[in-house]
Structure 1
Amino acid sequence: MPAPHATPPAADRRRIRVGSAPDSWGVWFADDPEQLPWQRFLDEVAEAGYEWIELGPYGYLPTDPARLRDETQRRGLTVSAGTVFTALHRGPDTWEATWAHVAPVAELTAATGARHLVVIPSFWRDDKTAEIVEDPELTAEQWRHLTAGTERLAREVRERYGLGIVVHPHADTHIDSEAHVERFLDATDASLVSLCLDTGHYAYCGGDSVRLIETYGERIGYLHLKQVDPEVLADVLAKGTAFGPAVRQGVMCEPPRGVPALEPVIDAASRLDADLFAIVEQDMYPCPPDRPLPIARRTRGFLRGCGV
């Protein structure tokens, strides 16, 4: 395990670039009648004061690169990353299906000029139905498949598309808790695999974001800024509620109303010798169409008060 920095370098918040994502507008799927149109998302994310966005689920935003560039550029927006879901712990037999999902997302991401691909492990519990579909704990063999498969994915994405992968610990996946995140990082090549630290998901699963940044700073390649409501989370954990229903219950909340406190996270991240994206994600699926914009405006104002 890496040791914490003995003498932390000076903070430089200028190296943190703040953006938002379709997730903060209640978008989880490429096409869903409960979600607002993509044009409105782009209009409102720009109106809220953000300059960077993620692509969200592939197919929600236009997949034609020229049209996507036109739609984003005329609103003053730039893409920071694409997102894929993988089930690499299931072994080499899943590779073809994995690559069939990853390749078009990576191609579009690269065409926008972005350089990151956020990789989210598959859920062991369905986020809509709460059905348990796999054991929440991996076997030793499955851990080997996961780490080897992730490194293979990182090589392929880098060589073919010039992108770096950032793996996203996520509630109800096999990379969630502090112990699982550390095991994953210790078993993967630091030159290939970086982490997308989502502060909300990590807190949801009992982790300390500041400690992770201070201990594994060289592995932090990307941030998602998010908070959880501690009272709702306590109820969720006590009842074993799945992540999807927990979101509908309001477990992810508007900052600065939840945990972790984002100022110390931003301070720790700004001391790393790295340029980082910090993408705001407040899971709100589903939500009324007029709810996201006021929250997005207030959140952007709050983050400016934090110096980013």
Structure 2
Amino acid sequence: MTTLSRIRIGSAPDSWGVWFPDDPRQVDWRRFLDEVAASGYEWIELGPYGYLPTDPVQLAEETGSRGLKVSAGTVFAGLHRGPGVWESTWEHVSSVAALAQASGAGHLVLIPSFWRDDKTGAVLEDRELSAEQWRTLAAGTERLAREVRDRYGLRTVVHPHADTHVDTEEHVTRLLDATDPDLVSLCLDTGHYAYCGGDSVRLIETYGERIGYLHLKQVDPAVLAQVHAEDLPFGPAVGRGVMCEPPAGVPALEPVLQAAQSLDVDLFAIVEQDMYPCEPDRPQPIARRTREFLRSCGA
């Protein structure tokens, strides 16, 4: 077994069933911090802005007292919609980026907006972007990445995501080919990429220089087949258990981690098992087992 010396393992509020800044079905943020530290993780993400304390001093005290460090903040943005959404987008992005910077993080995870409602499945936009929208998306992503880098010193990593316009191999590679490698990198989420038919190992081998960050998750192939057959939105699919505990699903994570290690760069690999909503006692045992599994892979 190869020791994955370049891979830094962490977890995120997502693995505790947290999708929103405030929701009665989610665990309290103090409990999340206690349990993620107790489960053997050193690194965390901020999760939805407002879930963890947004005061940098308080956040530093709460994470530091538990031996935790922040790797990234996360934002959603509909940059394909053009300059008209820039101001509202930047208002949110700047808040998250400022907190991430103050927390010592080096990355901002950028997720494209959904083309259908994550809960109801109502179609909000066409599933496919036009050529002009692709050009707008690429230009907007570069602009955001440049501003985030210049103002906050963070690296922007785009996160392909189910039910967004950047999901399949075709769409992911189209965005990568259309953007400046010095500005835009990829947050490869192994679960979302498999959900949309992609091969994570092949993507790492082909676009290795663009891989800037990893999210580790797996999908249950049987549930995924049902999801595709019924054309379920992502939210209900998660409720049905499409994202499963490693190593029960796909893709196999050890080959992904080995491929990432071979890039010979330092990479965060953040565990994200979508489980919203879930019983409050469910996440920690899974988190512990997942950490042990990743240790068995050399991480």
Counterpart of 2:73 in structure 1 is 82
Consecutive aligned runs of 4 or more in structure 1 exceeding 2 Å deviation = none
Contact 2:3 2:298 in 1 (8 A): no
SS in 2 for 1:109: helix
Distance 2:120 2:203 in 1: 32
- With normalisation by structure 2, the TM-score equals 0.99
The runs of 5 or more residues in structure 1 that have no matched partner are 1-10
State the 1:129 CA deviation: 1.4
Distance 1:299 1:200 in 2: 15
SS in 2 for 1:81: strand
1:281 equivalent in alignment to 2:272: yes
SS in 2 for 1:247: helix
Counterpart of 2:18 in structure 1 is 27
State the 1:93 CA deviation: 1.1
Distance 2:240 2:123 in 1: 19
Describe how 1:145-294 pairs up with structure 2 within 5 A.
145-294=136-285
Specify the code of the residue in structure 2 equivalent to 1:52. Answer: W
Describe how 1:132-143 pairs up with structure 2 within 5 A.
132-143=123-134
State the 1:281 CA deviation: 0.2
State the 1:130 CA deviation: 1.3
Q: Deviations over 1:237-258 (max 9, x none)?
A: 0110000000000000000000
Describe how 1:54-93 pairs up with structure 2 within 5 A.
54-93=45-84
SS in 1 for 2:25: coil
Specify the code of the residue in structure 2 equivalent to 1:270. Answer: Q
- With normalisation by structure 1, the TM-score equals 0.96
1:113 equivalent in alignment to 2:140: no
SS in 2 for 1:14: coil
Question: Which of these residues, 79, 83, 93, is aligned with residue 102 of structure 1?
Answer: 93
Q: Deviations over 1:93-142 (max 9, x none)?
A: 11111101100000000000111000000000111111111111000110
SS in 2 for 1:233: helix
Q: Deviations over 1:36-92 (max 9, x none)?
A: 100000000000000000000000000000000000000000000000000000011
Specify the code of the residue in structure 2 equivalent to 1:110. Answer: Q
Contact 1:12 1:271 in 2 (8 A): no
SS in 1 for 2:259: helix
Counterpart of 1:7 in structure 2 is none
Specify the code of the residue in structure 2 equivalent to 1:255. Answer: P
Counterpart of 2:295 in structure 1 is 304
State the 1:12 CA deviation: 6.1
SS in 1 for 2:98: helix
Distance 1:223 1:63 in 2: 24
Q: Deviations over 1:193-218 (max 9, x none)?
A: 00000000000000000000000000
Specify the code of the residue in structure 2 equivalent to 1:152. Answer: R
State the 1:273 CA deviation: 2.6
SS in 1 for 2:5: helix
Distance 1:273 1:85 in 2: 29
Report the count of equivalent residues: 298
Counterpart of 1:41 in structure 2 is 32
Identical residues among aligned pairs (%)? 76
